[in-house]
Amino acid sequence: MNSAADHAGATISPPRQPDVDTRNQGARSQMAAGSNSCGGSFLARRSDLIKSRAENRSAPPDVMVIEDESIDAERLMATLRVLLGYDHEIRWTSTLGDAVNRVVERIPDIVFLDDALKPSSDAAQIIPLLRGAGFSGPILLSVKK
């Protein structure tokens, strides 16, 4: 009876496992103390390099895409996001009138321009209009073969 009560009140503790965190921490501190032979110092140096590059990088340019074909615009903007960052805002407009309004509203740093906006605007005609609206930066054309 007595032994049964003792058995019922007893807590069952799980078998002792090796302390994984402590073991890893030991390995990490070894790597941080780092000789040239271990990968820890290399990764630490690489991490510092990436941080310093990010700190020194200037703000990405304000880009506006003027393109009436939505598939082409999406593809170009996806490529620009890869290059400039996924959180970077890229303005897109599909008409010449809206493009001029947006340039007046806020002058972009770079314009990507479709060489033939519908119905019949040629890039050679559009560029002077953008310049007249106050845009003096670089214009990159996307051209159909």
Partner 1 sequence: MTHARRAHLLASGACDAIDKDDVDSVRVGEALAQTQTPSERG
Binding site for partner 1 (CB under 8 A): 56, 58, 61, 72, 75-76, 79-80, 82-83, 110, 113, 115, 123-124, 127-128, 131, 137-145
Q: Which is nearer to partner 1, 27 or 78 (by Cβ)?
A: 78
CB 65 within 8 A of CB 110: no
Minimum distance, C-beta of residue 61 to partner 1, in the bound complex (Å) = 8
Helices (H), ranges, 19-122: 20-33, 39-56, 70-84, 96-105
Closer CB to partner 1, residue 48 or residue 122?
122
Please provide the distance, in angstroms rounded to a whole number, between the alpha carbons at the two ends of the chain: 94
Looking at the Cβ atoms of 93 and 113, the one nearer to partner 1 is: 113
Minimum distance from CB of 39 to partner 1 (Å)?
28
As measured in angstroms, the least distance from the Cβ of 137 to partner 1 is 8
Q: Does residue 122 contact residue 95 with C-beta atoms inside 8 Å?
A: no
